[in-house]
Amino acid sequence: MVVATFGLLLLRLWHLQVIEGEEFRRLCESNRIRLVKVAPLRGRIFDRKGRILADNRPSFDLFVIPEDVKDKESFAEGLAPLLGMPPEEILGKISQRGRSPFQPVRIKGDLTWEELSRIKIRQMELPGLKVSVVPVRTYLYRGLAAHLLGTVGEITREELSRRRAKGYDIGDYLGKTGLEAAWEDYLRGLKGGRQVEVDALGRELRVLREVEPIPGWDLHLTLDLDLQRKAEELLKGKAGAIVALDPSSGAVLAMASAPSYDPAAFARGIPLEMWKKLNEDPLHPLTNRAIRGLYAPGSVFKIVVAAAALAEGRVDPDERLHCGGLFPLGQKVFRCWKEEGHGWMDLKQAIIQSCDIYFYQLGLRVGPELMASYAEAFGFGRCTGIELPGEKAGFVPSPAWKAKRGERWYDGETVVMAIGQGPFLVTPLQMARMIAAVANGGVLYQPLVATEVIDPEGKGVRSYRPRPMGRLPLSPRVLRRLKEALLGVVEDEKGTGRAAHIPGVSVAGKTGTAQVAKMGQRRLKPSELPYELRDHAWFVAYAPAEAPTIAVAVVVEHGGHGGSAAAPLARELIKEWLSIEGEADET
């Protein structure tokens, strides 16, 4: 149905621009009849409760018909002071190659009342000028969900060469990043046109024929506005990301990346200085860390190592292994994060207290090949399939990878991998999907960002349903043991995730610390290290543990320990979600 509908719309557009366009061009030889294209309203974007996130607003834009300008240099000199623009910038716009001489060139958008008044007074002296009201993308909550929603911008020549067959022209706007780009074909709408008669100065005398533009189709998301706002508040002043999923479907409830930016700045063409500032910012505000940020998983990966050990029979869950704080291996000595050691402990307590030396021993039993295999089964090392451009796959190291490089794998790399360090790289979205799969009993879902697309008449033209992408290779018994340990991480007095505790709510989770500094530098206290060498803090969680409705992954760059920097953020986000759900139950 969608393909057929688009086919009819494209046929209509082609007829207007090509078949009838030939007639218009013949009439234009007299310089009296012209085709004026009319931009459509872009489709709106809504959150899961029907609240508008992205809409359109009117803008007064100034256009010039190059054919009506006899002396371009004098024209640019005369127009420049009216707009506060350099004459050479105006001249560059009206002298573009590859454009029809009768095709309007946008000189400036969002004219002020003062600029409009000055143009009106001087219009007779500057033939070819035309002020039009055009729709412009606007975001009702400014920078909220900026990385997810994405940006709209003017089409480049490279993009035009690929998209001209779809009806795009120089000066058109299209989705550049995020959902705006991913759903461009639905959101863009179809241009209309007016056949007008003009006088010798290019001023419209009358409309001969008119075809109304067709608005773009509306997009409804899984995102919850209130939860998204809370996630961004929690990241204020930090660099990092928060992803919240519905474990039962993979629906994205919140996706925050910090620092952020205001996408409205891109809607009319971002000033060069602002673009340069954003692009050169060392904190990379334009990067969606949720899908493009790559970090070592740290001790969160102990979930996967424990799962592999249990599933493959490499450990008895009641077997106790000793941690004395130091673990000699060959010529090296590996340390536990707890200098004095944890003493004797079983698997459950090793997860609860995140004992490194227990997992060094477990990693050697499981081996790097199995750890890599289970990492991939848990969704690492490959894209999740979320319908957003630019997602990164991350990287899972293995002996096979090193062999391809002509290098040998060492036992030291195995123990480092067992605690989620080394060249191992994951995204926050992958971490959220992993913990969601544990929460829901083992199903890995493709993350879902949209629920449906609605046409201008209010009819649903496409709907999106949960899509399972695989299952964790774990028995119910293994999953049960993992869940018991993860609950203890938050609820046990010795749990490293105690800061995520919510009275009256069962929260299960796992802390992680992704090392940034080299081992020699790590002898310094975290506070003594430069900011860029401090560890990244992780926390993944789900709640309520007995019947999860939310799964969360939090990463705070250079935040230090996951238990102190990331777990409190997850706690506050879960509390917000439970409050939102409680309000929904009351209505």
* Active site (catalytic) residues: 299
> For residues 356 and 335, what is the distance between their CA atoms, to the nearest angstrom?
7
Reported residue count of the chain is: 587
Listed in sequence order, the residues at least 6 apart from 230 whose beta carbon sits closer than 8 Å to its beta carbon are: 254, 572, 573, 576
> For residues 141 and 51, what is the distance between their CA atoms, to the nearest angstrom?
11
Whether the Cβ atoms of residue 232 and residue 261 lie closer than 8 Å to each other: no
Which token pair is 141? Answer: 């909550």
Half-sphere exposure of 513 (CA within 13 A, CB side): 21
> For residues 281 and 283, what is the distance between their CA atoms, to the nearest angstrom?
5
Q: What share of the chain is helix, strand, coil (3-state, %, to 5)?
A: 40, 25, 35
């402990």: which residue's tokens? 345
Burial annotation 183-198 (CB, 10 A radius, 16+ → b, else e): bbebbbbbbbbbbbeb
Which token pair is 202? Answer: 């290019």
100 conformational bin, left if phi > 0, alpha if psi -120 to 50, beta if neither: beta
Half-sphere exposure of 373 (CA within 13 A, CB side): 11
**R_g of the chain, CA atoms, integer Å:** 29
Burial class (CB in 10 A: 0-12, 13-18, 19+), 148: buried
Find how far residue 355's CA is from the centre of its chain.
Answer: 34
State the DSSP string of 440-452.
HTSEEEPPB-EEE
Query: CB atoms < 10 A from the CB of 527, how many?
Result: 7
Whether the Cβ atoms of residue 290 and residue 501 lie closer than 8 Å to each other: no
